[in-house]
Amino acid sequence: MSLKSKVQTAVNTAFDKLKDLSVTATFDNKIVSGFDFESGAITSDEQSYTTIGFLEDKKSFVNGTPVTKTTLTVKTVDGVDFNRYTEVTINEVVYNCNMISKNDFVVILSLSGD
């Protein structure tokens, strides 16, 4: 068994064992597919992907002001490009999301919202 296979097995095992601590994350995005000249409307396709992940909050202070940075860690999935998604819904709260790190095993996204 290769090292990559061993690491992937360990990641899968960790996600399975920690499932009770996970959140369900639904990624949504609208992709412009064209323009309807007759109606003057932009046509778009919606994409959605649901998975489980883990939230992490890091609290700090910037110039005396408390700041919380929230990240979401999900498993890397072949065929899913997390750069295409602009929003993720977790516990009925919609966040803007930006991918900050990706490897063959996990993707880490920065979350922001109200």
Write down the pLDDT at residue 83: 87
Write down the pLDDT at residue 104: 93
CATH assignment of 3-112, among 2.40.10, 3.30.390, 2.60.40, 1.10.3470: 2.40.10
pLDDT per residue over 6-38, tens digit each?
999 999 999 999 989 999 999 988 777 778 888
Domain boundaries defined on the chain: 3-112
Identify the CA nearest to 50 among candidates 72, 20, 21.
72
Identify the CA nearest to 53 among candidates 78, 29, 79, 71.
71
Write down the pLDDT at residue 114: 60
pLDDT at 109 over 70: yes
Mean pLDDT of the chain: 90
pLDDT per residue over 44-58, tens digit each?
777 889 999 999 999
Q: Are 52 and 22 in contact (CB under 8 A)?
A: yes
Q: Residue 86, Cβ neighbours under 10 Å: how many? A: 14
The pTM of this model reads 0.79
